[in-house]
Structure 1
Amino acid sequence: MLKAVILIGGPQKGTRFRPLSFEVPKPLFPVAGVPMIQHHIEACAQVLHYVEKPSTFISDIINCGIYLFSPEALKPLRDVFQRNQQDGQFCLALGEDSPGLWPGAGTIRLEQDVFSALAGQGQIYVHLTDGIWSQIKSAGSALYASRLYLSRYQDTHPERLAKHTPGGPWIRGNVYIHPTAKVAPSAVLGPNVSIGKGVTVGEGVRLRESIVLHGATLQEHTCVLHSIVGWGSTVGRWARVEGTPSDPNPNDPRARMDSESLFKDGKLLPAITILGCRVRIPAEVLILNSIVLPHKELSRSFTNQIIL
């Protein structure tokens, strides 16, 4: 039997992921329709299929990180594990059972205190993979990771991908639509779109390279490109919400997402557009390369700004 360690957080508490990390811990942010950490759990569950010994499987998952080890944040993490266990998908246990802070949190430095010691004893190894890999430091990298997982669903979870059907919305490429979402037949979705629980997508909406989170509403003829629409937000009719993609170099197999500062020379760098929780965008406006903090009701267009 094996044990897996998932590194899920540090002391910064997802500051580079704001305003999205205001609502949920980053490991629970939905990527390609499911919580980020669920992709790691599913990968652990598949270990049995890739080893030569039939008795080899992962018996425990230990989540290692400072951020989630608090009573408030630990509960939704447990819910993810329990839901998967009830569905019969995994036979895995949450290795950390403490209701409060892990006693070693903040005192054990994995790289210095653990990895260095193991390397000195010749007990640590590196596994090179040709599979997908992406760090998720910023909201822009979440869009890139969502694209990678949506593509992977073709082989791993084809049932999660929406299919074009007569009388339904037009699907282009890989798209995830939660079963509770309501999407108008004239909407055009994709490629690389994820639509969350209870989302409403109106007639004539165009969605591309975007994530629309739980309870959001896109009214008639809106256009959302390279953006993340936050929980419960509303985009008015004929409005356009657009960002600039920040993908890594496709010609470099080891390229990483850029996690530089949002600002350069006092100006906001062009990037994807993020609408925080319960933001209201009026009709017929343009929101371009901007970040809108939660609970804002806008009255005009904005470009390259952080709206506080």
Structure 2
Amino acid sequence: MADTKAVILVGGPSRGTRFRPLSLNCPKPLFPVAGRPLISHHLDALSKVKGLKEVLIIGLFEDKVFAPYIDNAAVEFPKLNIRYLHEYQALGTAGGIYHFRDEILRGQTKHFFVMHIDIACSFPLNDMMDAHMRHRGICTMLGTKVPFSEVTKYGCLVADEKTNQVLHYVEKPDTFISDLISCGVFLFDVAVFSEMKKALDKKEGQEPTEFVAYSNRDELRLEQDILRPLTENNNLYVHVTKQFWRQVKTAGSAISANALYLEAEAHENSNRLAQNTPEGPEIMGAVYIHPSAHVDPTAKIGPNVSIGPRVNIMPGVRIKDSIILDSVHIGTGSCVLHSIIGWNSRIGMWARVEGCPVPSEEDTSMMKNGRKSQSITILGKDVSVMDETIIRNCIVLPHKELKSCYHNEILM
């Protein structure tokens, strides 16, 4: 299918506030999950789509933010032409796609994938393409089932079980509609651009008071303005996946995404993952260790741990369900559980940094009833934890020196 392209929607620096303090030093799309930038997992899946040659990244970040990454990605994914397109202002999830329609259509494009950046997923894109070719509607969306208690956080849909045609779609409903939700991955026929034009024309004809949600006349929302009308004219279909899927909205949710990607690689017997060797540390479960990291042979690592470049892990250290970022030092006998340790941070000897394991879909609020919610512990960039100190269920902003124990706090 040489007539297929892909669009990845990455948002912009003014958003992603729920990903703080990590997004203070690294844009969410480039944050390392399972040893690779989040967006690389999307590109890896797209590189396996038959005949797909071009990927357009659309967002509000300055061009220079993505330029070094795209240079590296060109080496990692030589079959993909990857380009970044900078929106002149926030245009909504569909507005940016419509604004750059000439770039998408160039070269006889007939179909294009659209992927939100803030998800971790198995991305069964070839299966979606096969399903799309069978029904030939304007859009096929990836769907999955979630627990009853979670459904109102997502776009919910009701579909015909035999044809997979979507009969009803509601973005974040107030009441239960269905346990089938949108995964934020879509395959569009280029006929969708005429639907987008209709949506803009309709908006132009509305009284301003009816569209107070819009900040400018070119703004279009993919879910509300495009998908819902597609259900009304029988042009929206769903491909349901039972493989893994997870939203990556908050900084803490990166730990769950990290585990899902590492476990998927372990299932595929990936050679990227660390193995137990006679002279190496004890590895439990799925673990990624960057080649430039030093891990003492007496350390015990895993499951679900990613260790970044130039990390130094001393004797007797225990790490579990955590992400250790570039150039971190972890002192002798220390323990890191359910935590993200920021760039250049230093944990002293016999210290303990510990978060709470979050359920499959954690509450995204940092505070609850005036108290810090139970969640992953996150140390921002360049944080020092002194010897024999316990940091439990805390979020620590960059450049802090922690000389005493803290529990259930946000340390500014």
* Shorter-chain TM-score range: 0.7 to 0.9
1:98 and 1:76, CA in 2 relative to 1: closer, same or farther beyond 3 A? closer
The TM-score with structure 2 as length reference comes to 0.65
Q: Which amino acid aligns with 1:42?
A: D
Structure with greater strand share of residues: 2
Q: What residue in structure 2 maps to residue 44 of structure 1?
A: 46
Count, aligned residues:
286
1:62 corresponding residue in structure 2: 56
Amino acid corresponding to residue 83 of structure 1 in structure 2: N
> For 1:152, what is the secondary structure of its paired residue?
helix
Query: Counterparts of 1:1-308 in structure 2 under 5 Å?
Result: 1-9=3-11, 13-48=15-50, 57-64=51-58, 68-71=59-62, 74-87=63-76, 89-98=77-86, 104-105=95-96, 107-156=219-268, 158-248=270-360, 257-308=361-412
How far off its partner does 1:206 sit?
A: 0.5
In 2, distance between residues paired with 1:153 and 1:223? 25
Residues 133-160 of structure 1: per-residue CA shift (max 9 Å, x gap): 0000112211001000001112446111
The answer (yes or no) to whether the contact 1:140–1:245 under 8 Å persists in 2 is no
Letter in 1 for 2:352: R
Alignment CA distance shift 1:215-1:137 (3 Å) = same
In 2, the alpha carbon distance for the partners of 1:75 and 1:151 equals 33
What's the CA shift string for 1:31-52, capped at 9, x where partnerless?
000000100110111222xxxx
Gaps in structure 2 of 5+ consecutive residues: 97-215
Contact 2:70 2:83 survives alignment (8 Å): no
Quick one: which amino acid aligns to residue 365 of structure 2? S
Distance 1:157 1:278, change over 3 A: farther
d(CA) in 2 for partners of 1:134, 1:241: 25
**CA offset at residue 196 of structure 1?**
0.4
Query: Unaligned stretches of 5+ in structure 1?
Result: 49-56, 249-256
Q: Secondary structure at the match of 1:126?
A: strand
Name the SS for the 2:252 alignment partner. helix
Residue 287 of structure 1 aligns to which amino acid in structure 2?
I
Does the CA-based 8 Å contact 2:13-2:61 persist in structure 1?
A: no
Deviation at 1:80, TM superposition (A): 2.9
Following TM superposition, where does structure 1 have runs of at least 4 consecutive aligned residues deviating by more than 6 angstroms?
none
SS at match of 1:16: helix
Q: How much identity, in percent, do the aligned residues show?
A: 44
**1:219-267 deviations in whole A, cap 9, x for unaligned?**
111100000000000000000000101122xxxxxxxx22431111111
3-state SS of 1:47 partner? coil
Task: Give the secondary-structure state (helix, strand or coil) at the position aligned to 2:271.
Answer: helix
C-alpha contact (below 8 Å) 1:70/1:101 kept by paired residues: no
Q: Which moved more, 1:98-107 or 1:230-239?
A: 98-107
* Distance of 1:220 and 1:171 partners within structure 2: 18
How far off is 1:102 after superposition?
8.0
- Once residues 259 and 67 of structure 2 are traced to their aligned partners in structure 1, the CA distance between those partners, rounded to angstroms, is 26
Instruction: Determine if contact 1:144/1:247 at 8 Å carries over to the other structure.
Output: no
Alpha-carbon distance in structure 2 between the residues aligned to 1:84 and 1:136: 21
Amino acid at match of 1:271: S
One-letter amino acid matched to 1:86? V
Q: Give RMSD over aligned pairs.
A: 2.1
TM-score by length of 1: 0.86
Distance 2:385 2:249 in 1: 26
Contact 1:137/1:259, CA 8 A, preserved across alignment: no
1:14, 1:26 within 8 Å by CA — same for their partners in 2? yes
